[in-house]
């Protein structure tokens, strides 16, 4: 199944996408995380009981993650990417958090910050948690996976390297993307065989296989759940393969008008265009923006 969040007639909701039609599911569970906690079989049964369908062409697809879920990201998780950065592989998974506001959805524009021109691309597979838990064993990790989605986990490289903490470079509003939907785990029988592809303006720039992760998905779930309880709808971005722009000679960064695509065959394709950040008038610059 493909689980989507969408806007229709000015209202945000969620549903199941099948053959170009969406079955609205908010009548069964108000939010997608509530449904993910019940499992894919429960969602499938409820979906078949829904008679209404909406053409996906009549909807606006939103990022498939709700406000309030945590977005855990993993750095340096492919040997090739570690090598190109001239760093050593981390002794433990390198974990940082992204805000919900730092990600946009499928077809949305990603924002080139005013503060930097070192805006780098990162194609990744993201894992979505279904059943939550604490101290999950690696051998049980599969039971906690609801599905998978694509992420453009892009980085503002100079801000990322201001100090030892990468948080500033990873959390500019609208700098990353996620979607277009969550492909449920039952549709991905062998996640290790998945291929992660990144294309900039149609040109291949990144290619990796999930089977090559330094820390596989089960290890990431076990490690993160050791220090915090994972909750339904939480996201774990598994890391980016080699080929990022910062390590190229000369460097290759995203600029206004660029098109970046994350394709993971069997999961989905996420496409976004790059636009420059709007310059605010000085009297607005210090005012918080509406959520």
- Give the model confidence (pLDDT) of 106-141 as tens digits: 999 999 999 999 999 999 999 999 999 999 999 999
Looking at residue 90, its pLDDT comes to: 85
Give the side-chain half-sphere CA count within 13 A for 113: 22
Q: What is the pLDDT of residues 220-266, one digit of tens each?
A: 999 999 999 999 999 999 999 999 999 999 999 999 999 999 999 99
- Name the average pLDDT for the chain: 94
In the prediction, which pLDDT does 89 show? 83
Spatial separation of the C-alpha atoms in residues 147 and 126, rounded to whole Å? 9
Q: Could you tell me the pLDDT band of residue 206, with boundaries at 50, 70 and 90?
A: very high
Percent of the chain with pLDDT over 70: 96
- For 132-171, the pLDDT digits (tens) are 999 999 999 999 999 999 999 999 999 998 998 899 999 9
Give the angle 49-53-56 at the CA atoms, nearest 5°.
135
pLDDT of residue 287: 40
> What's the confidence (pLDDT) of residue 87?
81
**According to the model, what pLDDT value does residue 230 have?**
98
Q: Please give the pLDDT value at position 289.
A: 39
Residues 209-225, mean pLDDT to the nearest whole number? 97
Question: What are the tens digits of pLDDT across the range 12-22?
Answer: 999 999 999 99
Report pLDDT for 280. 55
Whether 86 has a pLDDT exceeding 90, the answer reads: no
Q: Cβ–Cβ contacts within 10 Å for residue 142, how many?
A: 12
207 exposure class (CB count in 10 Å sphere: 0-12, 13-18, 19+): middle
Cβ neighbours of 251 (radius 10 Å): 13
Taking the C-alpha atoms of residue 25 and residue 82, their distance in angstroms, rounded to an integer, is: 42
Would you state the structure tokens that stand for residue 256, as one six-digit string? 């206004």
CATH number assigned to the domain covering 71-276 = 3.90.850.10
Residue 278, pLDDT score: 85
Tell me if 218 sits within 8 A of 191, measured CB to CB.
Answer: no
Does the bond joining 210 to the residue before it have cis omega, within 30 degrees of 0? no
Where do you find CATH 3.90.850.10 in the chain? 71-276
């Amino acid at each position: 199944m493909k689980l989507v969040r969408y806007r229709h007639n000015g209202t945000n909701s969620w549903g199941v996408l099948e053959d170009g039609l969406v079955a609205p599911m908010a009548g069964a569970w108000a939010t997608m995380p509530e449904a993910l906690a019940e499992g894919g079989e429960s969602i499938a049964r409820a979906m078949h009981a829904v008679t209404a369908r909406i053409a996906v062409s009549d909807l606006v697809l939103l990022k498939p993650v709700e406000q309030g879920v945590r977005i855990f990201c993993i750095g340096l998780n492919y040997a090739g990417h570690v090598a190109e950065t001239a760093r050593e592989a981390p002794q433990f998974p390198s974990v940082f958090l992204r805000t919900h506001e730092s990600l946009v959805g499928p077809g949305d524009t990603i924002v080139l910050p005013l503060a930097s021109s070192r805006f780098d691309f990162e194609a990744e597979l993201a894992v979505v948690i279904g059943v939550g838990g604490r101290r999950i064993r690696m051998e049980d990790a599969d039971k906690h996976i609801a599905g998978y989605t694509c992420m453009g986990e892009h980085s503002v490289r100079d801000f990322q390297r201001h100090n030892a903490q990468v948080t500033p470079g990873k959390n500019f509003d609208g700098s990353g993307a996620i979607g277009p939907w969550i492909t449920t785990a039952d549709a991905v029988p062998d996640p290790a065989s998945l291929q992660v592809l990144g294309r900039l303006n149609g040109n291949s720039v990144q290619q990796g296989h999930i089977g090559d992760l330094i820390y596989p998905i089960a290890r990431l779930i076990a490690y993160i759940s050791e220090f915090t309880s994972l909750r339904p709808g939480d996201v774990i971005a598994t890391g980016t393969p080699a080929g990022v722009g910062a390590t190229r000679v000369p460097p290759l960064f995203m600029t206004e008008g660029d098109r970046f695509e994350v394709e993971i065959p069997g999961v989905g394709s996420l496409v976004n265009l790059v636009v420059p950040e709007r310059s605010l008038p000085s009297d607005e610059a210090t005012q918080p923006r509406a959520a």
